[in-house]
């Protein structure tokens, strides 16, 4: 208390309060920069950690897998048979595989979807000899991989693995093998049905592996590991580490965030940074961008899931090694006596064996939130109005903001509905996008608005970021960084020549502009067709398809704040009420 | 129809129409951990009805922790009225209770400020009735508590009624009866006896201290005893005592809430439990007497003496209420919600000296945003754990502490200014330090 008192006295003595108040815009800018710098610092040695297994019971790599060359022939056999069905309907393929799985001794069942746009899912359950039928592990095989290939290797490997698993008596958790049309909507609906309506079930799912091995090659170069879940969720890092360790023993290279070539083995600042930043973006876009990798379909039911996506057709690794990775990972999970519970759910990967933990990366988003809060305070204190003035205004500000929020809500529910109704989606969506963009620029024409509104909107964004901080760090960070130009608006408002700058700030921080740019530049750079359309469709349909709520956060958190600032700028008559602090400066 | 009435009407409409149009609202809200606890939730009251209808003792099975007379009161209507009418009647009852509390707060506000003006000789302008009423009726925490049909509302009604009887009606017996009922309904208001008696001592016109304290205490315990006696006759056992009050003291029903207790009983080894029960119960009452004594208004024979002006018994009641809300075993956000709605009473007296109002408000806001999110991370997503939720409970406790510190310090400065006759212009310039 004495120290606080001393500091307070010093602050008063040197008259720091007004000085600090005037410097607030710069302080908030400093916070934003600090946030970015913090992010860039994370891949530097000493700031990240080497991965380790936190749960002792997992004991990865401690068993010898017998899924070796003798099983290779069996995989080949199934593959030759399945190759015939490459052009066949999914029902036919399912029927063939079902026959095999039944012969092996597994219990099969169908998940019938009464939706013409999605095919039925088939799944088989291997009941554990030593288990109490309450826990299960899932091996999921989408018939079409995320690259659009026929998942021939994956399917034949899965059947061969089923045959192999069935001969072992060590299982204490059931094994479920799921064949779905793809890794997106159909797999998601199976996961949902498993927990709600399906009759044939095998207990709570602890872990899931999605297997994508397109083509009929026996050999591959490396595999990509995908792990991003919906709404910012991540699987337990222990599971990923287990698979990583097993693959390391098998001498397979793992690609995190689609690194390729020589970067697979390189470990320097730039590769780590790239993986890290790409991880943040793909976690933000998980569930929205299609085709998806399948692992996010398991989000929300306390299931740890990741995708193995095999890359290359030549190389030193053969198909049974993937079988061994799956086998040994399942053996480790099989050892677990409790759920994955260590506080290993919040991390960002820098490479297969490196990660940043939450305590280290969280400050960057917290700094952004603080920067918005300070900017809001600065807007309040530097606009020349007193705090009581704001308090008197607060009810009208709230009323206005609630109206904006309501209209955003209507828009956010109406747009996905519009998309569902149309047959020719692409035209309508680009139309919607166009309408929104033009509507948001139309707003800038007439009427009046005040600093309290801007201040409140900035504060609102700060609160949105705070709310998302733990739940969905990457989305919080992205919204914070992308909406940052809104902070500069208040300083630019007083001069007429800055109108263009204000407009530019508003334009750049518009959510739809960001969608447009991200889709057009970022996604297309990574080989997605029609990036913007893909992203917009994903945003609009992801709630219905996979229960991803990013669209609502954008529409109810970011967009209304943006809209109210835009309206304030467009309508406010700022010439007569130039902020006091600026007048002083000019004198 | 003046402004106050209009505000009251809107307040009633929100409370009555919402649950009437959407009958699932109270049931859904009463399962939210922040809004209701097992001992005062509407769902457990429903369980009690079910037991009653099937002629089972509602205190068997450890589901119901509502006192028997409350169960009987609701059960009577439940058995006589068809379901839909009963639910509507419930909505009406809860709305009316909130309106009464709002009106009582307005009258408390008028009384307190008039009294301070008289005592210090400087007129203080209270907030208008309309503002006081809207501070209560449109407090989101209060609205949510009311919509969740948490039975805490009744206990709060009787606490406020007790203060009202003491101040505006100057009727000691009725005040203590009300407080007795509040204690019977939720147990913890027993702590309020001390500051309320201190308030009685200064607010009643002609009194001797023996009369006030002895009469007050006797009436209070008579009321409690009578209510317990009737309950015992109605249930023909004393099992309810353990189920209603034993649970509060021993924290038997281990379930997370916004308070500070649950974590220690969930996460610690069993053999520590008696120790923590002792510590928490002791701690929950430890500041009641000191706070009351510090802000006690002493009588002095010489009216010119400065110390006459100091002390504020009503503030002591307020701070004790905040303390109670801070360390209750089963608190909800509604407990602190009432404290927030009471605070504007001090708008012209202590609040101008409070420096942490903005910090407190911000902390409160962040706390309210993060609490349900962390609970969701822990229970639904499974990627968080109990530490997440408890960390926010600690911050929630911190908000209470900030209020206590701020109001106490504010009052100390105010007293200093009064004692030293510092002019109003000087008051906000002067800087005091605690050494």
Mean pLDDT computed over A394-404 = 79
A346 interfacial to chain B (CB closer than 8 Å): yes
> For position A578, what pLDDT does the model report?
44
Q: How confident is the model at residue A574 (pLDDT cuts 50, 70, 90)?
A: low
Q: Which one of A338, A455, A467 would you mutate to disrupt binding with B, by most B Cβ within 10 Å of its Cβ? A: A467
Q: How far apart are CA A328 and CA A334, in angstroms?
A: 9
Lowest mean pLDDT among A108-117, A179-188, A198-207, B67-76: A108-117
Q: What pTM was estimated for this model as a whole? A: 0.91
User: Please, what is the Cα angle at B167 between B166 and B171, to 5 degrees?
Assistant: 35
Question: A463: nearest CA in chain B?
Answer: B366
User: What is chain A's mean pLDDT, rounded?
Assistant: 86
> For every residue of A203-235, which 3-state class applies, written as one string?
CEEEEEEEEECCCCCCEECEEEEECCCHHHCCC
Lowest mean pLDDT among A7-16, A69-78, B187-196: A7-16
The residues near B416 (Cβ < 8 Å, ≥ 6 apart) are B422, B432
> For position A580, what pLDDT does the model report?
42
Domains in chain A: boundaries:
14-44+359-586, 65-352
Strands (E), A69-120: 107-111
> For position A576, what pLDDT does the model report?
47
Q: How far apart are CA A284 and CA B125, in angstroms?
A: 53
ipTM of the complex: 0.89
The beta-carbon neighbor of B369 closest among A233, A339, A463 is A463
CA-based nearest residue to A549, from A368, A349, A300: A300
Lowest mean pLDDT among A56-60, A335-339, A358-362, B202-206: B202-206
Q: How far apart are CA A392 and CA A312, in angstroms?
A: 66
pLDDT over 90 (residue A306): yes
> For position A431, what pLDDT does the model report?
64
Mean pLDDT computed over B129-151 = 94
Per-residue pLDDT of A466-503, as tens digits, reads: 999 999 999 999 999 999 999 888 777 766 667 788 88
Percent of chain B past pLDDT 70, that is, above it, reads 97
pLDDT over 60 (residue A423): no
> For position A116, what pLDDT does the model report?
75
How many C-beta atoms lie closer than 10 Å to residue A413's C-beta? 14
The residues near A368 (Cβ < 8 Å, ≥ 6 apart) are A31, A32, A35, A465, A476, A477, A480, A481, A484
Let me know how long chain B is: 435
Per-residue pLDDT of B202-257, as tens digits, reads: 888 777 778 889 999 999 999 999 999 999 999 888 989 999 999 999 998 889 99
Q: Which one of B364, B381, B389, B413 would you mutate to disrupt binding with A, by most A Cβ within 10 Å of its Cβ? A: B381
> For position B301, what pLDDT does the model report?
56
- Least Cα separation, residue B83 to chain A (angstroms): 30
The beta-carbon neighbor of B369 closest among A302, A341, A467 is A467
Displacement of CA A449 from its chain's centroid (Å): 36
Q: How far apart are CA A432 and CA A434, in angstroms?
A: 5
Cβ contacts of A341 on chain B, cutoff 8 Å = 385
Torsion over CA: A269, A275, A279, A282 (sign):
positive
Q: Collapsing DSSP states into helix, strand and coil, what is residue B12? A: helix
Q: Collapsing DSSP states into helix, strand and coil, what is residue B310? A: coil
Q: Which two tokens stand for residue B232?
A: 């015992």
Question: Which strands form A222-226's sheet, in the order they lie side by side?
Answer: A107-111, A121-126, A174-180, A135-142, A204-212, A304-311, A222-226, A253-256
Which of residues 231 through 250 in chain A touch B, CB cutoff 8 A? 233-234
Cβ of B369 within 8 Å of Cβ of A341? The answer is no
Per-residue pLDDT of A126-139, as tens digits, reads: 999 888 889 999 99
Helical packing angle, B193-203 and B216-235, nearest 10°: 140
Q: How far apart are CA B431 and CA B408, in angstroms?
A: 16
**Total H helices, total E strands in chain B:** 22, 0
How many Cβ contacts (< 8 angstroms) between chains A and B?
37
Mean pLDDT computed over A333-343 = 85
Q: Are A189 and A112 in contact (CB under 8 A)?
A: no
Q: How confident is the model at residue A436 (pLDDT cuts 50, 70, 90)?
A: low
Question: B433: nearest CA in chain A?
Answer: A5
Question: Which strands form A49-50's sheet, in the order they lie side by side?
Answer: A49-50, A354-357, A347-351
> For position A310, what pLDDT does the model report?
94
> For every residue of A533-546, which 3-state class applies, written as one string?
HHHHHHHHHHHHHH
Q: Collapsing DSSP states into helix, strand and coil, what is residue A107? A: strand
A467 interfacial to chain B (CB closer than 8 Å): yes
Q: How confident is the model at residue A419 (pLDDT cuts 50, 70, 90)?
A: confident
The residues near B358 (Cβ < 8 Å, ≥ 6 apart) are none
Cβ of A12 within 8 Å of Cβ of B377? The answer is no
Torsion over CA: B31, B34, B37, B41 (sign):
negative
The CA distances from residue A123 to A126, A158, A178, in Å, are 10, 11, 4
| Terminal alpha carbon distance of chain A | 41
Q: Which two tokens stand for residue B56?
A: 């089972």
Peptide bond between residue A291 and the one before it cis (omega within 30 degrees of 0): yes
pLDDT over 50 (residue A443): no
How many C-beta atoms lie closer than 10 Å to residue B252's C-beta? 17
Specify the residue for token string 């608190």: B331
Q: Are A169 and A129 in contact (CB under 8 A)?
A: yes
Judged by phi (left if over 0) then psi (alpha if -120 to 50, else beta), residue B382 lies in left
Cβ of B365 within 8 Å of Cβ of A463? The answer is yes
Displacement of CA B262 from its chain's centroid (Å): 20
Mean pLDDT computed over B290-295 = 93
| Terminal alpha carbon distance of chain B | 54
pLDDT over 80 (residue A277): yes
pLDDT over 50 (residue A165): yes
> For position A448, what pLDDT does the model report?
44
Lowest mean pLDDT among B49-58, B181-190, B315-324: B49-58
Q: How far apart are CA B144 and CA B18, in angstroms?
A: 11
Q: Which one of A232, A471, A547, A553 would you mutate to disrupt binding with B, by most B Cβ within 10 Å of its Cβ? A: A471
CA-based nearest residue to A94, from A132, A115, A133, A122: A122
Q: How confident is the model at residue B126 (pLDDT cuts 50, 70, 90)?
A: confident
Q: How far apart are CA A562 and CA A464, in angstroms?
A: 13
Q: Which two tokens stand for residue B133?
A: 């009423």
For domain A65-352, which CATH number applies: 3.40.50.970, 3.40.50.720, 3.40.720.10, 3.40.630.10?
3.40.630.10
The residues near A543 (Cβ < 8 Å, ≥ 6 apart) are A416, A549, A551, A552
> For position A404, what pLDDT does the model report?
82
Cβ contacts of B373 on chain A, cutoff 8 Å = 467, 470-471
Q: Which one of B361, B363, B383 would you mutate to disrupt binding with A, by most A Cβ within 10 Å of its Cβ? A: B383
The beta-carbon neighbor of B366 closest among A302, A343, A466 is A466
pLDDT over 70 (residue B188): yes
Per-residue pLDDT of B145-160, as tens digits, reads: 999 999 999 999 999 9
- Least Cα separation, residue B366 to chain A (angstroms): 7
- Least Cα separation, residue B368 to chain A (angstroms): 10
Question: A462: nearest CA in chain B?
Answer: B366
Give, as one character, the DSSP assignment of residue A150: B
> For position A444, what pLDDT does the model report?
40
Cβ of B373 within 8 Å of Cβ of A470? The answer is yes
pLDDT over 90 (residue B435): no
Q: How far apart are CA A100 and CA A105, in angstroms?
A: 9
Q: Are B70 and B234 in contact (CB under 8 A)?
A: no
Q: Are A153 and A215 in contact (CB under 8 A)?
A: yes
> For position A3, what pLDDT does the model report?
80
Torsion over CA: A545, A547, A548, A549 (sign):
positive
> For position B339, what pLDDT does the model report?
96
Q: How far apart are CA A372 and CA A369, in angstroms?
A: 5
Cβ contacts of A5 on chain B, cutoff 8 Å = 433-434
pLDDT over 90 (residue A450): no
Instruction: Give the dihedral of Cα atoms A449, A455, A460, A462; nearest 10 deg.
Output: 150
Given the DSSP bridges, would you call strands A204-212 and A304-311 parallel, antiparallel or unpaired? parallel
Per-residue pLDDT of B350-384, as tens digits, reads: 998 898 998 999 999 999 999 999 999 999 988 88
Q: Where are the alpha helices (DSSP H) in B121-170?
A: 129-137, 140-147, 152-167
A45 interfacial to chain B (CB closer than 8 Å): no
Q: Partners of B303 in the beta sheet?
A: none
User: Please, what is the Cα angle at B299 between B311 and B194, to 5 degrees?
Assistant: 60
Displacement of CA A110 from its chain's centroid (Å): 30
Looking at per-residue pLDDT, the higher value among A466 and B432 belongs to A466
Q: How far apart are CA A445 and CA A569, in angstroms?
A: 9
Lowest mean pLDDT among A237-246, A279-288, A524-533, B401-410: A524-533
CA-based nearest residue to A437, from A489, A506, A513, A505: A513
């Amino acid at each position: 208390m004495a120290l606080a008192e001393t500091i307070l006295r010093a602050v008063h003595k040197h008259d720091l309060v007004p000085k600090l108040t005037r410097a607030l815009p710069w302080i908030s800018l400093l916070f934003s920069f600090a946030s970015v710098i913090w992010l860039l610092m994370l891949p530097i040695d000493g700031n990240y950690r080497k991965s380790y297994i936190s749960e002792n019971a997992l004991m990865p790599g401690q068993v010898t897998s017998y899924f070796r060359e003798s099983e290779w022939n069996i995989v080949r056999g199934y593959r030759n048979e399945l190759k015939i069905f490459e052009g066949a309907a999914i029902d036919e393929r399912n029927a063939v595989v079902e026959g095999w799985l039944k012969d092996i001794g597994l219990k099969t069942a169908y998940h019938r979807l009464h939706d013409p746009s999605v095919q039925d899912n088939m799944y088989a359950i291997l009941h554990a000899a030593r288990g109490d039928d309450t826990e299960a592990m899932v091996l999921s095989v989408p018939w079409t991989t995320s690259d659009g290939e026929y998942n021939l290797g994956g399917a034949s490997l899965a059947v061969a693995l089923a045959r192999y698993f069935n001969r072992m008596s060590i299982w204490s958790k059931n094994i479920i093998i799921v064949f779905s049309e793809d890794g997106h909507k159909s797999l998601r609906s199976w996961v949902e049905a498993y927990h709600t309506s399906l009759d044939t079930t095998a207990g709570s799912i602890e872990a899931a592996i999605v297997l994508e091995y397109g083509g009929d090659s026996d050999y591959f170069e490396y595999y990509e590991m995908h792990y991003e879940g919906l709404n910012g969720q991540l699987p337990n890092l222990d599971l990923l580490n287990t698979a990583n360790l097993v693959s390391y023993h098998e001498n397979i290279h793992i690609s995190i965030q689609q690194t390729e070539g020589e970067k697979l083995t390189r470990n320097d600042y730039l590769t780590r940074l790239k993986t890290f930043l790409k991880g943040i973006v793909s976690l933000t876009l998980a569930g929205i961008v299609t085709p998806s990798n399948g692992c996010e379909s398991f989000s929300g039911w306390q299931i740890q899931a990741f995708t193995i996506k095999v890359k290359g057709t030549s190389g030193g690794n053969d198909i049974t090694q993937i079988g061994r990775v799956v086998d040994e990972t399942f053996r480790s999970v099989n050892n677990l006596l409790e759920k994955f519970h260590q506080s290993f759910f919040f991390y960002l990967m820098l490479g297969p064996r490196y990660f940043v933990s939450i305590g280290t990366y969280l400050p960057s988003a917290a700094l952004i939130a603080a920067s918005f809060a300070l900017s809001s305070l600065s807007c309040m204190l530097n606009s020349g109005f007193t705090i009581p003035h704001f308090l008197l205004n607060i009810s009208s500000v709230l009323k206005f903001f609630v109206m904006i929020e309501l209209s955003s809500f209507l828009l956010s529910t109406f747009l996905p509905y519009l998309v569902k109704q149309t047959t020719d989606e692409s035209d309508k969506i680009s139309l919607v996008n166009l309408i929104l963009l033009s509507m948001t620029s139309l707003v800038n024409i007439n009427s009046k608005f005040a600093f309290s509104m801007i201040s409140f909107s900035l504060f609102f964004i700060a609160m949105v970021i705070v709310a998302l901080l733990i739940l969905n760090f990457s989305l919080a960070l992205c919204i914070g960084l992308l909406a940052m130009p809104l902070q500069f608006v208040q300083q630019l408002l007083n001069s007429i020549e800055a109108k263009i700058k204000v407009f530019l700030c508003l334009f750049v921080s518009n959510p739809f502009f960001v969608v447009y740019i991200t889709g057009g530049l970022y996604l297309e750079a990574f080989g997605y067709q029609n990036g913007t359309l893909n992203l917009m469709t994903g945003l609009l349909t992801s709630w219905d398809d996979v229960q991803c709520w990013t669209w609502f956060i954008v529409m109810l958190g970011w967009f209304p704040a943006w809209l109210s600032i835009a309206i304030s700028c467009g309508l406010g008559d700022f010439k007569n009420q130039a902020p006091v602090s600026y007048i002083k400066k000019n004198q | 129809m003046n402004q106050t009435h209009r505000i009251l009407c809107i307040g009633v409409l929100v409370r009555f129409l919402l649950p009437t149009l959407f009958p699932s609202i109270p049931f859904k809200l009463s399962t939210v951990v922040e809004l209701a606890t097992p001992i005062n939730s509407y769902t457990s009251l429903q369980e009690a009805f079910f037991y009653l209808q099937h002629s089972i003792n509602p205190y068997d099975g450890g589901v119901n922790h509502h006192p028997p007379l409350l169960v009987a009161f609701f059960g009577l209507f439940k058995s006589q009225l068809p379901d839909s009418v009963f639910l509507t009647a419930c909505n009406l009852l809860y709305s009316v209770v909130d309106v009464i509390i709002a009106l009582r707060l307005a009258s408390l506000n008028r009384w307190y400020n008039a009294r301070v003006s008289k005592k210090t000789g400087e007129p203080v302008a209270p907030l208008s009735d309309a503002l006081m009423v809207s501070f209560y009726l449109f407090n989101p925490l209060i609205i949510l508590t009311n919509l969740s049909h948490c039975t805490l509302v009744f206990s709060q009604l009787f606490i406020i009624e007790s203060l009202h009887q003491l101040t505006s009606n100057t009727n000691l017996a009725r005040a203590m009866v009300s407080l007795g009922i509040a204690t019977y309904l939720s147990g913890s208001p027993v702590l309020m006896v001390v500051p309320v008696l201190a308030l009685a001592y200064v607010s009643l016109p002609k009194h001797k201290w023996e009369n006030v304290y002895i009469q007050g205490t006797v009436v209070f315990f008579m009321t409690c005893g009578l209510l317990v006696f009737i309950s015992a006759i109605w249930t023909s056992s004393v099992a309810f005592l353990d189920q209603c009050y034993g649970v509060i003291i021993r924290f038997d029903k281990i379930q997370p809430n916004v308070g500070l207790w649950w974590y220690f009983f969930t996460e610690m080894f069993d053999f520590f439990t008696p120790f923590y029960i002792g510590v928490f119960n002791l701690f929950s009452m430890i500041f009641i007497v000191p706070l009351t004594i510090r802000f006690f208004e002493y009588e002095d024979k010489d009216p010119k003496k400065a110390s006459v002006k100091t002390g504020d018994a009503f503030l002591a009641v307020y701070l004790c209420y905040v303390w109670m809300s801070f360390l209750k075993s089963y608190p909800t956000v509604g407990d602190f919600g009432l404290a927030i709605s009471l605070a504007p009473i001090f708008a012209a007296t202590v609040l101008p000296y409070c420096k942490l109002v903005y910090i407190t408000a911000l902390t409160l806001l962040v706390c309210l945003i993060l609490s349900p999110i962390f609970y969701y991370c822990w229970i639904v997503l499974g990627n968080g754990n109990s530490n997440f939720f408890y960390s926010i409970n600690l911050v929630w406790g911190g908000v209470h502490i900030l209020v206590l510190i701020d109001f106490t310090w504010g009052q100390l400065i105010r007293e200093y200014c009064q004692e030293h006759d510092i002019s109003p212009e000087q008051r906000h310039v002067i800087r005091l330090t605690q050494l």
